[in-house]
């Protein structure tokens, strides 16, 4: 399999970034839902948020790589069978997914740095608090993070359902290309 995208399919780098991020987003969402329900005496009360933050920051770095990768290796064009509406919807849907990913991670960063402390990443290094002590920073960023996370997961599910619709109903190569197969 080629590393770069071609005119008929996605390359290995794009496929790994796509499916790895999908797994990370749903994993972070599940971890986030689980950790907010932990009681004071749970041994995971401190470890779960640290894990959530570390994975979130790695995901932020990978999103930057993913955006850069789109310039290095542009995605294949939409299948010829896609009409104007489908092409516009796909472009807007992807743009909202990208914006949502960045926004939810920035909101998470603002929650974590509200007190001025940096964020340790798996105990290896620390991302400094560049923005802190804004009025109600943690609370406001927390609300934004919560609703953006829900919106992102709902949009990702719709994205997946659209890919399945293309595969099973339209019988086009949309999903096949993201699995690394030639259209």
pLDDT tens for the chain, residues 1 to 183: 899 999 989 999 999 999 999 999 999 999 999 999 999 999 999 999 999 999 999 999 999 999 999 999 999 999 889 999 999 999 999 999 999 999 999 999 999 999 999 999 999 999 999 999 899 999 999 999 999 999 999 999 999 999 999 999 999 989 999 988 876
pLDDT at 12: 96
The pLDDT of residue 181 is 82
pLDDT, residue 183, reads: 65
Question: Could you tell me the pTM of the whole model?
Answer: 0.94
Q: Nearest CA to 10 among 61, 54, 55, 69? A: 69
Within 8 A by CB and 6+ apart from 16, the residues are none
User: Cα Rg for the chain, rounded, in angstroms?
Assistant: 19
pLDDT of 1: 85
**Whole-number Å distance between alpha carbons of 127 and 113:** 9
CA 58 – CA 120 distance, rounded (Å): 11
pLDDT in the model for residue 180? 83
Q: Which residues of 44-74 are buried (b: 16+ CB within 10 A; e: fewer)?
A: eeeebbbbbbbbbbebbebbeebeebeeebe
* Of the options 1.10.10, 1.20.950, 1.10.287, 2.60.40, the CATH number for the domain spanning 12-178: 1.20.950
Q: In the chain, which residue ranges form alpha helices assigned H by DSSP? A: 12-35, 44-72, 84-112, 137-168, 174-178
The half-sphere exposure of 57 on its side-chain side, counting CA atoms within 13 A, is: 22
| Residue whose entry in the numeric block shows the structure tokens 């994993």 | 27
Q: Distance between alpha carbon 32 and the CA centroid of its chain, in Å?
A: 14
């Amino acid at each position: 399999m080629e590393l770069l995208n071609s005119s008929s399919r996605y390359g290995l780098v794009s496929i790994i970034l796509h499916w790895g991020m999908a797994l990370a987003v749903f994993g972070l969402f599940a971890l986030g839902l689980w950790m907010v329900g932990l009681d004071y005496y749970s041994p995971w009360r401190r470890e779960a948020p640290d894990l959530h933050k570390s994975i979130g920051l790695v995901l932020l770095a990978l999103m930057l790589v993913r955006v850069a990768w789109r310039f290095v290796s542009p995605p294949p064009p939409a299948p010829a069978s896609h009409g104007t509406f489908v092409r516009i919807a796909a472009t807007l849907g992807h743009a909202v997914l990208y914006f949502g990913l960045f926004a939810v991670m920035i909101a998470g960063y603002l929650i974590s740095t509200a007190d001025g402390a940096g964020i340790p990443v798996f105990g290896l290094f620390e991302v400094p608090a560049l923005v802190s002590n804004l009025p109600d920073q943690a609370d406001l960023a927390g609300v934004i993070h919560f609703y953006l996370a829900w919106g992102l997961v709902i949009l990702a599910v719709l994205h997946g359902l659209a890919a399945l619709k293309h595969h099973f109903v339209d019988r086009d190569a949309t999903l096949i290309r993201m699995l690394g197969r030639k259209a």
